[in-house]
Chain A
């Protein structure tokens, strides 16, 4: 009897100690030093959805949901939600204890204002989301009910967009120039403190955060360091704790990962699912012939691009979807082996004879002006296409020039990479759907001018199909056709590694990676 009591006591003491140890392990306090590259125009994620803006802004502003690494929706400002069986009604139950950084309570009004008014006014993508909605109702202050026009399963994946404070925009007509945009009032774990343009952005702990006990950090500094070498030095000398993809070039990553107390992870891109590709302008001759496009695909050694240019980071891909997509179906994809002989044969078959210099035709190639690696890839493509008689002229541009050329079909070949996202309906559909009119809108759109009525129908049907298995079948059919048509060459399923000092703990906890709100991040002493 006594021994049992003793055992119980000892056990509970042990459990308590373990719990305490567990709590103590997550040390509170400390400053996290990060890099934001390039310096964003704003950190208001409602105004701008550029990578750097999202990186900083997501610590200040929050969304209804976030998404796990296996792409389950997770509660954030919505603590629970339900979807009707017919896939038409989405009900979100909001948290009751959330306050804006200026002390005002967060309510359903803020959600409706953001979804219906603010975001569509500034972001075309939000307009597309709103177009799927028939009605938004708020039965009470903490419930929002979206009724859709038709089933649209992708709808659960559009709620990583910011919710903005409606009370700051009362009486404002032009949201683009509203003064409240630069007040940076959110509900997130960190509050905006100071922005020294050209130097740093400083965020401090929100003591009134709804998730009690979080965040663990006292403050975060985002350093602005424009030169890639200087960023590597800042990490090497311990002045910053984390390097994200793009902060340093891939060829520097392996070296930095080998430093003492440094770790590398490929996690955190499960939501965005980036894929790299070479646009082929399907509207230009001879690229309008599928055999020519196939020949180009056969002439490029895509494994070389992954291994040599991107430092071994990346995976083979033969279709529009990322390996991380639930709808990826490699069994239906046509695989284009590196085979210059086959490429030559295909071009002969089309009747494109080489001239005295061995040139069949010339193409203008517009590289992606996002750093050295893309430049090198462009140079490789030029070399790779030369043996099959295609002369490539590289046309260097800056970002606006690149954008302009792509959206006006003023190119033959162009580099790009896109975020294919968890759902093809919001990620890749508009890149393969026949254009109405002549303007593709953005470089992520159908700037290759691909048009196939069968694909159009499959993508539209799949987007509005409520049954997952039927959807999957529809997307498989679409992938089969698209990969056979090769409207573009998918170069690699991108891996964006993150480097961090081991003292930084719980850095990546969801599918959004370092774009998360960092409420969970803590520093080991």
Chain B
């Protein structure tokens, strides 16, 4: 299959998936008891029934669910994500403010997790059965088993409260201006703890997968043949072992990309990181449907794109794999 055909096929599938996401989320959200009108009325402390009914009418919540879905899909077709009930602003503006923070956090964490996970996993596999292997495996089990928020709190306790090296919350030092360069440095310092906390969990997974995968490949005939041919160990490692061991890691990484955004909700909460994960949580709590649906839509779109990229990476890693297979 040629690349264009593959791409259009995948794109069409992606659109279908995204539409499914919209409908499913829309219906699920409407099934939860309570709506935005009751939250808004609750905010006011006191409201008479007529007031709540009026609110509900203003927000279009008194229509039937299919009718609301139809209205929503129509506006979505015009790429209009609607207004936030609470913020009275277009949801797309709100998300645009917060998405960069999440992307910065998750991409950094992802990069760190991959690099550290593959490196440590390879080292563990090369030294399988030794003390080093046991120690590394132990570390990975520990970070995998510890809840994210707990790792985060312990990191804050150690690096912020006791050592006072790193800031405990936020994305930048509040109330301090400065040049662009110092701002970059400031954000970078703030990024360390949350990115590490989020990254360590996923690093543990990649470490395990890499170790198992490398051990598996090491046993294969072609590696034995390469050794018998007298190839240099470094070359065997790069060309034969790692390349083949990478495939399951790519699969895992592409699946995990979606979870990373979910995991960032916890991290963003603990570290007061102003990202889209927390925004989604707040929107859910306040039944801000338009905002929540748009966040679901955009994050789903990101995950779909990542999976598409992963498909191409398979081919790059192993030319024997055919597109569209």
Contact = CB atoms under 8 A, between A and B. Distances in A.
Contacts of A229: 153, 156, 270
B33 A404 contact: yes
B160 interface: yes
Nearest to A47: B88
Interface residues of A, number: 59
Interface string A211-252: 000000001010111110110011011010000000000000
Contacts of B89: 182
B119 interface: no
Contact of A441 (B52, B149, B284): B52
7 contacts: A230-B153, A230-B169, A233-B168, A400-B286, A404-B34, A405-B33, A442-B45
A230 B46 contact: no
B43 interface: yes
Contact of A399 (B42, B47, B98, B160): B42
B34 A198 contact: no
A224 B46 contact: no
Contact of B46 (A236, A403, A430): A430
Contacts of A403: 34, 38-39, 41-42
Given A237-B164, A400-B33, A199 B274 contact: yes
A318 interface: no
Contacts of B270: 227, 229-230
A236 B162 CA distance: 11
B58 interface: yes
B47 A400 contact: no
A452 interface: no
Interface stretch (B69-77, B275-283, B305-313): B275-283
A223 B43 contact: no
Interface in B270-311: 270-275, 278-279, 282, 284-287
B36 to A, nearest CB: 8
A31 interface: yes
A400 B272 contact: no
Contacts of A9: none
Interface in B130-168: 149, 153, 156-157, 160-161, 164, 168
Contacts of A281: none
Nearest to B36: A400
B25 interface: no
A189 interface: no
Contact of A233 (B41, B160, B279): B160
A442 B279 contact: no
A418 B87 CA distance: 26
B48 A441 contact: yes
B48 A127 contact: yes
B90 interface: no
Nearest to A435: B49
A177 interface: yes
Interface residues on B, range: 35 or more
B8 to A, nearest CB: 38
Contacts of A443: 42
Interface of B: 32-36, 38-39, 41-49, 51-52, 58, 86-89, 94, 97-98, 101, 149, 153, 156-157, 160-161, 164, 168-172, 174-175, 268-275, 278-279, 282, 284-287
Given A399-B39, A400-B33, A400-B39, A198 B175 contact: no
A103 interface: no
Given A399-B285, A400-B33, 6 more contacts: A33-B174, A125-B46, A199-B171, A199-B172, A230-B156, A237-B160
B285 A199 contact: no
Contacts of A398: 32, 34, 284-285
A405 B32 CA distance: 12
Contacts of A437: 49
A38 interface: yes
A8 B149 CA distance: 69
B269 to A, nearest CB: 5
Residue of B89, B170, B171, B270 with highest tally of chain A CB at under 10 A? B170
A33 B175 CA distance: 10
B33 A401 contact: yes
Residue from B36, B48, B52, B89 whose CB has the most chain A CB atoms within 10 Å: B48
Given A226-B278, A398-B285, A439 B88 contact: no
Contact of A444 (B32, B45, B170, B174): B45
A416 to B, nearest CB: 11
Nearest to B32: A401
Contacts of A48: 43-44
Given A199-B170, A444-B46, A230 B271 contact: yes
Interface in A49-87: 49-50, 53
Nearest to B172: A199
A223 B87 CA distance: 18
A31 B174 CA distance: 11
Interface string A189-225: 0000000111110100000000000000001010111
Contacts of B273: 198
A400 B272 CA distance: 24
B43 to A, nearest CB: 5
Contact of A230 (B49, B272, B274, B284): B272
B274 A197 contact: yes
A122 B41 CA distance: 10
Interface in A388-441: 397-405, 407, 419, 430, 437, 439, 441
A131 to B, nearest CB: 11
A18 interface: no
A125 B45 contact: yes
B174 A199 contact: yes
Contacts of A15: none
In the complex, the 8 A-B pairs of residues with the closest C-beta atoms, listed nearest first: A198-B274, A400-B34, A439-B49, A404-B34, A41-B86, A124-B47, A225-B272, A125-B46
Most chain B C-beta atoms within 10 Å of own C-beta, residue among A182, A229, A403: A403
A240 to B, nearest CB: 10
B285 to A, nearest CB: 6
Contacts of B278: 198, 226
A439 B168 contact: no
A445 interface: yes
Contacts of B171: 199
B164 A226 contact: no
Given A197-B97, A227-B269, A239-B168, A202 B175 contact: yes
A202 B176 CA distance: 12
A198 B98 contact: yes
Contact of A237 (B87, B168, B170): B168
B47 A442 contact: yes
A39 interface: yes
